[in-house]
Amino acid sequence: MRILSIETSCDETGISIIEASDKTITILGNALASQIDIHAQYGGVFPALAKRAHAEKIVPLLTQALTEAQLLEKTNTPADTNLEAKLPSELAFLDQKETELKAHLVPFLATYQKPAIDYIAVTTGPGLEPALWVGINTARALSLIWNIPIIPINHMEGHVLVTLLQEKEEQHEEQRKTQYTLQVLQFPALALLVSGGHTELVLIEDYGSYKKIGQTLDDAVGEAFDKVARVLGVPYPGGPMVSKLAETFRSSSLTQEITLPRPMLHSGDYNFSYSGIKTAVLYKVRDITEAQQSPLTDIQKQMIACAFEDAAIEVLVKKTLRAIDEYQTQTIIVGGGVAANTYLRSTLAQKVPDTTNVLFPEHWLSTDNSVMIAIAAYIRIYTGHNEQKEGAVLTADGNLSITDGGFRK
């Protein structure tokens, strides 16, 4: 079966096509465009700008991914320049809020034939609603014109399930990154979800069956990385850069002179709080720069980044270890952009019991992408958990929880 997937929840526009058969997954086409340059000047993601960038990029990416998958063929007739007038009335929704998207989509639909795709998977939440709508409306239009069913997917479930991809052994060099095997998940499993918007511990009782056991009460850990980056004068998105500064300090022989608080480490539950560490960093920087009457030196920046990363990661790891013990889970999944963090990867892998299997996404699939949306859709179909909720309509839901699946009723 072939699945075309769409991801537009935040600042990455992604289109992928996978072919799946039993436990074998082949990535046939994958196109991803980042908006980092657009948002960097503001130090964060602006929803209206994100929406416009998605609307401009999504059709070129669709063309690119389908071409890579060798599934795009022109119609036999010359491009129908008058398609717009003949569009079914169901597509009128594009006129209301998606004029930019429509300007790209209509010529695309007029030029190309329906590709050999069985399902369209699309992220319906959580994320920025104006951004999510671009993906959803693209999916609706393609589904109507091509007559292909839509599978709504929760972005966080994508981050979880993409960790089940294992590189196929004995594959030829040119197949690397394209051929994978799906590993079977042992239940109950635990997921640590860490991104720019989420810090959650989730118990997975079965495919599609999630129970949240704790979450952040304020900022997400990725958000804290990004805010600390701003305080240190590192460009957006700061997570990877703060981590790099921390690594430089850790591998030096310098002595750490700064300790930061570990909020909620001993709270006795699985909740987190990251706004306090960020504020502590802010005060620390203010104290140092006022005392020395000059900006931070490079070494001071590295030292602060390291103190922050140590504190942020220690809380994540300790609470995860406690949950592994309490729920007796043999598999722990780490998903979301912060799963790219090398210090989190090494600390967790080192501290979990020998019997625990730790699953991280491949590095290139850690941050937002559309491959993970296709994988989540396939696993829902494959395991028989693709139930459509009665009365549910396809809608963008910025606060969708992983416990809701792809949509809330």
Contact string (CB under 6 A) for ligand KG4, positions 194-233, x = contact: -xxx------------------------xx-xx-------
By beta-carbon proximity to Zn ion, the closer residue of 193 and 313 is 193
Contact string (CB under 6 A) for ligand KG4, positions 365-394, x = contact: --xx--------------------------
- Write down the least CB distance from residue 368 to Zn ion, Å: 4
| 340-233-256-245 Cα dihedral, nearest 10 degrees | 40
Q: Distance between alpha carbon 85 and the CA centroid of its chain, in Å?
A: 38
Distance CA 124, CA 8 (A): 9
Distances, alpha carbon 9 to alpha carbons 45, 240, 348, 368, in Å: 11, 20, 28, 9
Q: Where does 334-384 have alpha helices with state H?
A: 342-351, 371-382
Instruction: Break the chain down into helix, strand, coil percent, rounded to 5.
Output: 45, 20, 35
By beta-carbon proximity to ligand KG4, the closer residue of 366 and 386 is 366
3-state secondary structure of 308: helix
Contact string (CB under 5 A) for Zn ion, positions 339-368, x = contact: -----------------------------x
Site for ligand KG4 in 10-49 (CB under 6 A): 10
- Write down the least CB distance from residue 391 to ligand KG4, Å: 28
Question: From the list Zn ion, ligand KG4, none, which binds 239 (C-beta under 5 to 8 Å, kind-based)?
Answer: ligand KG4
Instruction: Provide CB contacts within 8 A for 336, sequence distance 6+.
Output: 156, 159, 193, 194, 195, 198, 222, 366
Task: Please tell me whether residue 361 binds ligand KG4 under the rule CB under 6 A.
Answer: no
Under 8 Å between Cβ of 195 and 186: no
Q: Which of 7, 402, 365, 399 is nearest to 191 (CA)?
A: 402
- Write down the least CB distance from residue 155 to ligand KG4, Å: 6
Interface segment toward Zn ion; rule CB under 5 A; list 28-36, 193-201, 268-276, 316-324:
193-201
- Write down the least CB distance from residue 185 to ligand KG4, Å: 20
Alpha-carbon torsion (153, 156, 161, 163), positive or negative: positive
By beta-carbon proximity to ligand KG4, the closer residue of 243 and 300 is 243
Contact string (CB under 5 A) for Zn ion, positions 145-184, x = contact: ----------------------------------------
Q: Which helix (H) or strand (E) holds 39?
A: helix 36-40
- Write down the least CB distance from residue 237 to ligand KG4, Å: 4
- Write down the least CB distance from residue 65 to ligand KG4, Å: 19
Question: From the list Zn ion, ligand KG4, none, which binds 340 (C-beta under 5 to 8 Å, kind-based)?
Answer: ligand KG4
Interface segment toward ligand KG4; rule CB under 6 A; list 28-36, 190-198, 270-278, 371-379:
190-198
Distance CA 74, CA 111 (A): 6
Under 8 Å between Cβ of 408 and 399: no
Binding site for ligand KG4 (CB under 6 A): 10, 195-197, 222-223, 225-226, 237-240, 243, 336-338, 340-341, 367-368
Binding site for Zn ion (CB under 5 A): 195, 368
